[in-house]
Amino acid sequence: MKNSIIDILQQWRNEKIKLNPAASPGLIAEVEMAMDFSFPGEFKELYTQVNGFADYDWRENMFSIWPLERILEEYNGSDDKNFIAFSDFLINSHNIGFVRSQPAVFKRYGTTEYTFVSDSFIESVKLINANSDLIY
């Protein structure tokens, strides 16, 4: 998994995406406690390298990976507490994130219906980076 994270970060740097500095384990734990949710280990590994995209930056395909602060803000503002989004397309046209009761990653178009994206966080980020049809 470490090689996958290195590859993801290198792609973002090559694309000149503005990245936030690493999140501390303490900040990750604070956000988890506030949402009563445990992020997968691979999520934590990536976020201890970079805390999402800085300044609402996005990839050329108009997907953004959110910092922890925005993840918590969006969660707190949402009526759907079963969905924990970490990414959006085209300024919240739809979100990609976790569903509390599921070990996979899903997309949501503003409803409480979720569509499967991938089995893991890292796999979903790779799909975003590859501009896969599965993310739209």
In the chain the domains, ranked by start, together with CATH numbers, are 2-135 (3.40.1580.10)
Average pLDDT over residues 39-44: 98
Is residue 3 packed enough to be buried (19+ CB in 10 Å), middle (13-18) or exposed (0-12)? exposed
Q: Please say if the pLDDT value at position 1 is more than 80.
A: no
Residue 125 CB neighbour total at 10 angstroms:
26
Give the model confidence (pLDDT) of 18-32 as tens digits.
999 999 999 999 999
Give the model confidence (pLDDT) of 45-75 as tens digits.
999 999 999 999 999 999 999 999 999 999 9
Predicted pLDDT of residue 133: 93
Average pLDDT over residues 84-107: 94
